[in-house]
Structure formats: structure tokens, C-alpha cells
Structure 1
């Protein structure tokens, strides 16, 4: 009788674990996507080879926020990851290596000093659904400062980088 009880507990526990894993798999593959980072433009936040989860659901209900890291589709249909610094309706300008939004200095330690302001050496006015994106490692980033990227429309944003899965030693929420 005791052996049967232990066996039943084992089976119940195994079934619970399988149900939880199935539910987790369904949630991840229904509302998130995996993306492997390539390039150095988002260092130190994200590095080449990191595998991240992209939250494709939340932007259906809420608008992207300043400093979110997003995955977006370029005009050539490839994907890039950058940080949002300018929001719809704002004016962005880069002077003396610093970003100004509507004339106010953007205080952040996440983005390296900017040697090349590109298009943002003059004020860049964002439309009602446009965002200005920049890579954290500005010396190695092709972003909204350059003509081939420019302002990014909301429809181009696939989702928010939410969680780093790999490498395991660097697993964490991305904020």
C-alpha cells in the first residue's frame, strides 16, 4: 500500500511538471519570440550571441516607453535592436555628444557619448507614430541618426526585448 502511495505521488508530481512545462511552452511561443543578438551596437546591455525573448504582446495594449529596447524591422526587411530615446511628437537633437529631447538633456548612463550626431545634429521632429532609436554603443550603431534607418514607425516595431535567456550566466530581465 505504501509503495503504491509513493508511486501515485510520483506520477502526480510528474504530471504537474509536464502540465506546467506545456503551459510555459504555449505562453512563450504564443506571445513571445526568440531572437539571437548579432553585432555590438547594444553593448553592454546585450552582446553578440545573447538569446533574448521578445514580448510581442504588450505593445498591442500600451505604447512603447522611452529607454525600452525594441526589435524593429528595417526598410530592407532585416531586424535590428535599439533603445527608444525619442517618442512621438517630440524633437530630438544631439549636441556635444548628448541627447536633448524638446530642449531638455536626456539623463542616462545607458547610452555612450555620441561622437557622430548624424541627422540629429539638427532638430529631428517625430511624427505622431514615430520613434527615435539609438544603440547603447553609439560608435558601433546604425540607428535613427542615419538616413538608412531614420525615424522608426510604430508599425515597424515587432516587440520589446524582455528577457535574456542565454548565456545562462547572464540570464535576467531586461529593463
Structure 2
């Protein structure tokens, strides 16, 4: 083999190793399946998920996260409740530790609804699977943005932080929807 071929082979091997490191440790591509995050994310949107964010930090309220819902299925939802918080929904208003909390990512959807339509049925964390009084340590409560069509903490219970794959940071496909995730 010539020296040029060895250099090319070495460059290719380095590029492959770097690609594997980036894919396995730093980022993951994810495709949204279903309508549970409408209008924020659409069925078929391709996302870049940062695996690094929660290696060095904790989820924040409103982060859009991908987590292992089952051994074979990952879900994408929005973090609503953090450890130690009492979460409830009353009259379509999110209430955390007795204080009303705005959900600005739902404003457009709420504006398009009829006056007597409800986006999110009333619930308290005690009524969810597990019956907790507050979100346990190392867990989060998650909801889909399309509240009437989402399998989330209301059915699954709170989500262990160690099942979170990462935070959705950007939509990269389709091209007309390229943007950072809100």
C-alpha cells in the first residue's frame, strides 16, 4: 500500500471514531412520532437531542426531553414538575406549590380553542400513578403540549431522571421547520 492510501485510511478511521463519540456520548437524532407535542413539534420532525446536558446538570421546567418510556419505546414530552414540587392542574391553569404558572408555549393553541373547551383535564399529583404528594427526588413530571392526545405523566406517573436520554435542542428536518426547540 502506498503512503497516501495509509494517510487516507488513517483520516477515515479518525473521522469514524469521532462520529461514533459524538453520536454515542454527545448527541442523538430522534424522530417525533405522533401528535402529542403539537403545535411545538410535529409528527415526523427530526430532532437533535443533547445527551450532555443532563450529564452535567438537571432538567429545568419547560425543557423538552426524550426518555425511555418502555424498553423499546422513547417518548418526547415537556418537563412540568421538578423534584419536591406539588403539581396540579385546575381550570386549565398549571399550579405548582400553590402558585399559578404560565405555559407560554400553549398560548396559540389556547387562543384557537372555543371558550368552553378544556385543554388539560384537572388533576393533582396525588391522583397520578404512584400517588405521590410531590415529585420525588430524581424524578420529573412531564406532559405533552397536545394535552388531549398525549401519553404522559398522567398515565405513566413521574419519570425517573436516569431514564432521560437528553434534551431536544433543535429541529433539523423538514427544512421549513429548522429551529431551536422552545
TM-score (norm 2): 0.75
Alpha-carbon distance change, 124 to 166 in structure 1, aligned in 2, over 3 angstroms: farther
Paired residue for 1:102? 97
- Give how far 1:114 is off: 3.4
Instruction: Quote the RMSD (CA, aligned, Å).
Output: 2.4
User: Could you list the runs of 5+ residues in structure 2 that have no partner in the other structure?
Assistant: 1-10, 111-117
Equivalent residues of 2:125, 2:134 under 8 A apart: no
From 156, 162, 175, the counterpart of 1:155: 162
C-alpha distance in 2, partners of 1:137/1:120? 19
Paired residue for 2:23? 29
- Give how far 1:174 is off: 1.1
- Give how far 1:115 is off: 3.5
Paired residue for 1:84? 79
Alpha-carbon distance change, 39 to 94 in structure 1, aligned in 2, over 3 angstroms: same
User: Could you list the runs of 5+ residues in structure 1 that have no partner in the other structure?
Assistant: 1-17
Alpha-carbon distance change, 124 to 142 in structure 1, aligned in 2, over 3 angstroms: farther
C-alpha distance in 1, partners of 2:27/2:47? 10
Equivalent residues of 1:117, 1:145 under 8 A apart: no
Per-residue displacement from partner, 1:78-136 (whole Å, max 9, x unpaired)? Answer: 11000001001111011112211101111112235534235647585111111010001
Paired residue for 2:115? none
C-alpha distance in 1, partners of 2:91/2:181? 29
1:136 match: secondary structure = coil
Paired residue for 2:4? none
What pairs with 1:71-150 in structure 2 (closer than 5 Å)?
71-111=66-106, 114-118=119-123, 120=125, 122=127, 124-146=133-155, 149-150=156-157
- Give how far 1:77 is off: 3.7
Per-residue displacement from partner, 1:120-174 (whole Å, max 9, x unpaired)? Answer: 475851111110100011011111112xx11001011110001101001111111
TM-score (norm 1): 0.78
Q: Specify the structure having the higher radius of gyration (Cα).
A: 1
Per-residue displacement from partner, 1:32-67 (whole Å, max 9, x unpaired)? Answer: 111110111101110001000110011100111100
Alpha-carbon distance change, 94 to 121 in structure 1, aligned in 2, over 3 angstroms: farther
1:164 and 2:171 are equivalent in the alignment:
yes
C-alpha distance in 2, partners of 1:100/1:118? 10
